[in-house]
């Protein structure tokens, strides 16, 4: 029996031309005039492909897709949409979108390609082996996931490919009764990893049937995931030439203090990660948002002049010390001093934990001109109040770092210690919410002082690299808080990071 194609079009002449183009390719065809007729015919006859042309009466194409997807008899129908761009239905798995005036022969070719793909998927589904292998160039990953979702299969896909520069990449997707519950590739997992894997147009796949018992990392419905993934893929292909290259280097063009304090959480996270990474690929890997969204945000920041992209290696800092000459002059002006009149700026250091203080002091040892105070060693206690180090900037100028305990018993001294200070570093080394909670009373006391500058510094260990999501949540909840990420694993020059952190507190 010939495989059936239903054409839904209110224009009978155009419908006949499309039917003829499908018929000469060996397919049985039927034409209907409204969305309601298309629904009735699909439920009764179970076509393999439904072609909808222009707006449909009674039931629109988008609603028709939704209804057919939920019906077990019709959920494997493929779709070809012919419409104007402004009236195009949302992208859906298995759908082909063409302009309203597309040539009937092109429609027939697209229908034929969908039929061929269905044949390959049907053959795969009928395999009795526990393992199935193939090439992504022949069967796209989205089709595979939809097929195994519809048939409620459990197991894992292992994906492999080789990049243009010869590197080998791998990915893995886990299914439980057809639902995608986890995806992993390189340093990323969850939905971010799945969306990245959906961009793979070549490489190999191998499915292994097995019981998947790991806790779900992905909870969004598989249909919604595939629709969003294909939407992002379409946008990525359309805008690829405009988006930043993963090989490019990126840097802020404006002073940190000039950045807006309230921005979209995605933009806030990108700006935070710019403190840690100068390579677009690294920033994309460590962001919690999908790759496409991060690249679009970077593109917007470039267009607004906030960041700049460089094709070569990052430009090194022009000065070897903690501050540039222009910053030192601003500090002098603020302190109201001139060369030959010794006076230091004061910077407070408070911490949610003693370990965070000690880790921060170890990083400080790389700063040129640092003169440690005796209490800067391991003998430092959480209740120690007083200077812990001085950073010599020039012969007659420096910055004195003063440790202030956050214990409530020291509350009467907080404002006294903060009076006339350049600012305050609030150190955290654990969950962001817990750190902010313990530091909140101290920060509230200092905010009432003239010229209050507070910088929350999150010291990140290697095993805490996944805190970006918590940082984002924290920023949403604490609008007045400014965060700075300071890694302890040497992934970037600590002097470069400290220079950026201290610069935020300069006048």
Q: According to CATH, where is 3.40.50.2300 located in the chain? A: 4-123
pLDDT number for residue 176: 93
Give the number of C-alpha atoms closer than 13 A to the C-alpha of residue 379, restricted to the C-beta side.
6
* Residue in the block written with tokens 């956050």: 406
pLDDT number for residue 316: 45
pLDDT at 128 over 50: no
User: Mean of the pLDDT values across residues 144-165?
Assistant: 87
Q: What share of the chain is helix, strand, coil (3-state, %, to 5)?
A: 40, 25, 35
Give the number of C-alpha atoms closer than 13 A to the C-alpha of residue 67, restricted to the C-beta side.
13
pLDDT at 10 over 90: yes
Report the range of poorest mean pLDDT among 33-42, 57-66, 244-253, 337-346.
Answer: 337-346
390 — phi, psi (to 5°)? Answer: -130, 135
* Residue in the block written with tokens 């393992």: 131
Token output for 275: 């403190």
136-145 core/surface letters (b: 16 or more CB in 10 A; e: else): beebbbbbbb
pLDDT at 257 over 60: no
Q: 502 near 460, Cβ under 8 Å?
A: no
- Residue 477 CA to residue 376 CA, distance in Å, equals 34
Report the range of poorest mean pLDDT among 16-25, 181-190, 263-272, 399-408.
Answer: 263-272
User: Mean of the pLDDT values across residues 141-150?
Assistant: 84
Confidence of residue 472 (pLDDT cuts 50, 70, 90): low
pLDDT number for residue 91: 57
Top pLDDT among 506 and 445 is at 445
362 — phi, psi (to 5°)? Answer: -65, -40
For residue range 338-371, list pLDDT tens digits in order: 555 567 889 999 998 888 888 898 888 888 888 8
Confidence of residue 479 (pLDDT cuts 50, 70, 90): very low
234-267 core/surface letters (b: 16 or more CB in 10 A; e: else): eebeeeeeebbeeebbbebeeebeebeeeeeebb
Token output for 172: 């893995």
For residue 281, give the 3-state DSSP assignment. helix
User: Mean of the pLDDT values across residues 429-458?
Assistant: 83
pLDDT at 463 over 70: no
Describe the crossing of helices 222-239 and 190-197 by its angle, rounded to 10 degrees: 60
Q: According to CATH, where is 3.40.50.300 located in the chain? A: 325-503
Top pLDDT among 120 and 308 is at 308
pLDDT number for residue 299: 92
Token output for 411: 């509350």
pLDDT number for residue 380: 66
Torsion of CA 159, 141, 86, 81, to 10 degrees: 160
249-310, CATH topology level: Arc Repressor Mutant, subunit A (1.10.10)
For residue range 285-318, list pLDDT tens digits in order: 888 899 999 999 999 999 888 888 887 544 444 4
For residue 49, give the 3-state DSSP assignment. strand
How many degrees, rounded to 5, is the angle at CA 9 between CA 231 and CA 74?
A: 60
pLDDT at 115 over 60: yes
pLDDT number for residue 501: 82
Write down the architecture of domain 325-503 according to CATH: 3-Layer(aba) Sandwich (3.40)
The DSSP secondary structure of 132-151, one letter per residue, reads EEEETTTS-HHHHHHHHHHT
CA distances to 92, 203, 207 from 199, in Å: 16, 11, 18
- Please indicate, yes or no, whether the overall pTM of this predicted structure exceeds 0.85: no
pLDDT number for residue 317: 46
Token output for 234: 């379409």
Q: Which of 109, 112, 93 is nearest to 3 (CA)?
A: 112
User: Mean of the pLDDT values across residues 455-478?
Assistant: 62
User: Mean of the pLDDT values across residues 1-29?
Assistant: 91
Residue 181: alpha-carbon gap to chain centroid: 18
Q: According to CATH, where is 1.10.10 located in the chain? A: 249-310
* Residue in the block written with tokens 């790991």: 214
For residue range 69-82, list pLDDT tens digits in order: 777 778 778 899 99
For residue 188, give the 3-state DSSP assignment. strand
Q: For residue 212, what are the contacts with CB-CB under 8 A and spacing of at least 6? A: 154, 155, 156, 174, 175, 176, 181
For residue 406, give the 3-state DSSP assignment. coil
Q: For residue 374, what are the contacts with CB-CB under 8 A and spacing of at least 6? A: none
User: Mean of the pLDDT values across residues 193-198?
Assistant: 94
pLDDT number for residue 6: 96
Top pLDDT among 131 and 435 is at 435
Mean pLDDT estimate for the chain: 82
Beta bridge partners of 170: 160
pLDDT at 277 over 60: yes
For residue range 168-181, list pLDDT tens digits in order: 899 999 999 989 99
Report the range of poorest mean pLDDT among 116-130, 154-168, 440-454.
Answer: 116-130
Q: Does domain 4-123 have CATH number 3.30.1740.10?
A: no
User: Mean of the pLDDT values across residues 125-130?
Assistant: 55
């Amino acid at each position: 029996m010939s495989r059936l194609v239903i054409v839904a079009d209110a224009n009978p002449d155009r419908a006949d031309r499309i039917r003829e183009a499908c018929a000469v390719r060996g397919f049985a065809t039927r034409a209907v005039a409204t969305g309601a007729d298309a629904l009735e015919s699909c439920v009764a006859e179970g076509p393999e492909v439904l072609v909808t042309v222009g707006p449909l009466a009674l039931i629109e194409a988008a609603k028709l897709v939704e209804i057919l997807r939920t019906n077990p008899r019709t959920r494997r129908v493929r779709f070809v949409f012919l419409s104007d761009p402004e009236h195009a239905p949302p992208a859906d798995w298995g759908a082909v979108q063409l302009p309203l005036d597309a040539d009937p022969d092109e429609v027939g070719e697209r229908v034929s390609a969908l039929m061929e793909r269905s044949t390959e998927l049907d053959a795969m589904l009928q395999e009795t082996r526990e393992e199935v292998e193939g090439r992504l160039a022949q069967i796209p990953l989205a089709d595979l996931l939809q097929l195994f979702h519809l048939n409620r299969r459990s197991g894992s896909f292992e994906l492999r490919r080789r990049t243009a520069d010869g590197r080998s990449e791998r990915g893995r997707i886990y299914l439980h009764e057809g639902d995608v519950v986890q995806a992993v590739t390189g340093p990323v997992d969850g939905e971010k990893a799945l969306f990245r894997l959906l961009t793979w147009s070549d490489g190999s796949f191998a499915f292994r049937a097995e019981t998947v018992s790991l806790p779900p990392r992905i909870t969004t419905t598989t249909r919604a995931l595939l629709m969003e993934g294909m939407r992002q893929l379409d946008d990525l292909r359309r805008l690829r030439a405009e988006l930043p290259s993963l090989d490019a280097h990126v840097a802020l063009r404006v002073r940190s203090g000039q950045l807006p304090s309230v921005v979209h959480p995605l933009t806030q996270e990108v700006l935070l990660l710019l403190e840690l990474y100068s390579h677009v690929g690294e920033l994309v890997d460590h962001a919690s948002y999908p790759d496409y969204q991060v690249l679009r945000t970077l593109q917007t920041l470039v267009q607004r002049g906030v960041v700049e992209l460089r094709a070569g290696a990052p430009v090194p800092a022009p000065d070897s010390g903690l501050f540039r000459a222009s910053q030192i002059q601003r500090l002098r002006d603020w302190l109201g001093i001139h060369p030959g009149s010794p006076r230091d700026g004061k910077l407070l250091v408070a911490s949610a934990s003693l370990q965070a203080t000690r880790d921060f002091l170890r990083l400080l040892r790389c700063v040129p001109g640092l003169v440690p105070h005796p209490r800067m060693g391991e003998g430092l206690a959480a209740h120690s109040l007083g200077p812990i180090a001085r950073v010599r900037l020039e012969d007659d100028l420096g910055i004195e770092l003063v440790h202030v305990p956050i214990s409530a018993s020291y509350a009467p001294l907080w404002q006294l210690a903060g009076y006339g200070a350049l600012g305050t570093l609030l150190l955290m080394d654990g969950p962001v919410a817990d750190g902010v909670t313990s530091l909140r009373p101290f920060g509230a006391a200092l905010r009432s002082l003239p010229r209050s500058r507070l910088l929350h510094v999150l010291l990140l260990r290697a095993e805490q690299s996944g805190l970006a999501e918590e940082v984002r949540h924290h920023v949403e909840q604490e609008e007045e808080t400014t965060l700075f990420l300071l890694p302890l694993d040497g992934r970037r020059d600590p002097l470069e990071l400290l220079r950026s952190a201290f610069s935020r507190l300069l006048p």
